[in-house]
Amino acid sequence: QDTLEQHRPLYHFTPPEQWMNDPNGMVFYDGEYHLFYQHYPDSNVWGPMHWGHAVSRNLVTWEHLPIALYPDSIGMIFSGSSVADVDNTSGFGSADNPPLVAMFTYHNAEGERARRNDYQTQGIAYSLDKGRTWEKYANNPVVNNPGLRDFRDPNLFWHEPTQRWVLILAAGDRVRLYNSPDLKAWTFLSEFGEKNGDHGGVWECPDLFPMMVNGQQKWVMLLSINPGGPNGGSATQYFVGNFDGKKFTTDYPNDTLWIDYGPDDYAGVTWSNVPESDGRRLFIGWMSNWDYAKEVPTYAWRSAMTVARTLSLVQTDAGVRLASRPVQELEQLRNGSYTLSAATVRDSLDLSHQANLQSPAMEFKLSFDLPKTTASDFGVRLFNDLGEEVRIGYEPQAKQWYIDRSRSGKTDFKEGFVRRITAPRLAESDTLTMHLYVDVASVELFADDGTTVMTSIFFPNEDFTHAALFTERDSLHFNGGEAFSLTQKPL
Ligand code: FRU
């Protein structure tokens, strides 16, 4: 089984070959979800960045398209976003055929080597054929560097009240906001973040969008940080607050909030131009971590994206928080479904046989009675016949979810891959729920209706095709649930 293709997920997005990192330029247009991504087509480690490209009609099945953007004399093409310029404000298209406009960071490697501090600038490109081909703007860059070594990852959106495009980008320990009538001429507005959130590493890949909660509009800012994540390395924090078209303020100046506590969800941002009739805020992240992304034991390609997720704001006792749930379209992957009966679990309860599952791609929806705060740890074990396993569990004493990948197979490719991965439980209810997506080399836990999320990758020597419930000591009340084997359907 030890081939160049070993560990390739069945339904998560991966590049056909070679290196991938951040998702970029996600826009919905004319029935298609576009996904671009940081890509180096000549090697399975990071190098001169391009924008790879794929499209999907259902966020589940992806069609690979040719590389959309290549490096040029100004620089490599780093992360960014794209929008549908439906009113043709840029003039790149026409009223009948409005353009898609992408903004990306130009990273000039010579400038970096020469230790200049202006080697990152923002450029734009447009497409008049539904993203199939792209033309770079002749007067790039459109945002010059004010003398900041870190000045990247532009994210664009249309702000209706001010009738302006707004641009947010990462500048070291803060974000900077700009606006423009036409996507070409940009005016600096404000900064945010120097004194807020986590600063264990450099800020990257911001996103800013409105969301409703309690009948009120709030603004959510996503902000990736590397290193400094709650479980080491890269992670994405968020802020909830207000935005008046010029300035963002946070409602929780003293809190650091993480969209996903696992080590393997980074640089995630959301799709633009999703129709109001749909109304969802759709997110995807890079399912890896700069701590070890270049060393993970895959060869033909490196890295996958998370599953697409729907974000929402929920009111909790601690305040308004961001929840993530797998998109409903993922149900299309189910090809066998099994009801799991309620049971008292002592030691272990096999799910694979009960559910007739023998698949490296599985989904579980499980519910448990909240045990006493003194009770022992419990959860789900994914395992193979070699004695390798991953545990996704809950610790009542610490009131936290965890993932243990210390015995998951290949773990020594990079120091620090094995460490205890934990996340505080936010929910207060007497029932705990776990929604799990497993896919050959990853597990995504959406606990308590997505209020605690953890994503983790792993590399067993043989696929984990078995699953069981475990409890370390005390008996556990399992309320039952559902199990599914998943398969990718051809396009
Ligand atoms: C985040 C990041 C971005 C940058 C890109 C380069 O993972 O470091 O800040 O644009 O990757 O590939």
pLDDT per position as a tens digit, 372-419: 999 999 999 999 999 999 999 999 999 999 999 999 999 999 999 998
Q: Which atom of ligand 1 is nearest to the CA of 38?
A: 12
Q: Which of 22, 207, 291, 448 is catalytic?
A: 22
The yes-or-no answer on residue 42 being catalytic is no
SS3 at position 112: helix
Q: Which amino acid is at 325?
A: R
27 lines ligand 1 (CB under 6 A): no
* Residue 430 C-beta-side C-alpha neighbours within 13 Å: 2
Q: How confident is the model at residue 438 (pLDDT cuts 50, 70, 90)?
A: very high
Quote the pLDDT of residue 18.
98
The best mutation among 81, 107, 152 to test binding of ligand 1, ranked by most ligand atoms within 8 Å of the C-beta, falls on: 152
* Domain limits, CATH 2.115.10.20, in the chain: 18-326
> Is the pLDDT at 491 greater than 90, yes or no?
no
265 lines ligand 1 (CB under 6 A): no
Tens digits of residue pLDDT in 196-213: 999 999 999 999 999 999
SS3 at position 111: helix
Quote the pLDDT of residue 307.
98
Rounded to an integer, what distance in angstroms lies between the CA atom of residue 299 and that of residue 197? 36
Q: Out of 2.30.30.30, 3.40.50.740, 2.115.10.20, 1.10.10.10, select the CATH number for domain 18-326.
A: 2.115.10.20
153 lines ligand 1 (CB under 6 A): yes
Q: What are phi and psi of 246, to 5 degrees?
A: -130, -35
Question: Which tokens is 391 given?
Answer: 């545990």
Quote the pLDDT of residue 490.
72
pTM: predicted TM-score of the whole model, two decimal places: 0.98
How far is ligand 1, taken at its centre, from the CA of residue 38, in Å?
Answer: 8
155 lines ligand 1 (CB under 6 A): no
Q: What is the mean pLDDT of residues 247-255?
A: 96
Quote the pLDDT of residue 2.
63
Sign of CA dihedral 70, 117, 179, 236: positive
Shortest CA distance to 445 belongs to which of 223, 264, 197, 233? 264
Tens digits of residue pLDDT in 118-172: 999 999 999 999 999 999 999 999 999 999 999 999 999 999 999 999 999 999 9
What fold, for 332-486? Jelly Rolls (2.60.120)
39 lines ligand 1 (CB under 6 A): no
* Domain limits, CATH 2.60.120.560, in the chain: 332-486
105 lines ligand 1 (CB under 6 A): yes
Q: What is the mean pLDDT of residues 458-480?
A: 97
Q: Are 118 and 44 in contact (CB under 8 A)?
A: no
Q: What is the DSSP string of 27-73?
A: EEETTEEEEEEEEETT-SS--S-EEEEEEESSSSS-EEEEEEE---S
How far is ligand 1, taken at its centre, from the CA of residue 283, in Å?
Answer: 17
CA–CA distances in Å: residue 127 to residues 88, 135, 164: 12, 6, 21
Q: Are 403 and 442 in contact (CB under 8 A)?
A: no
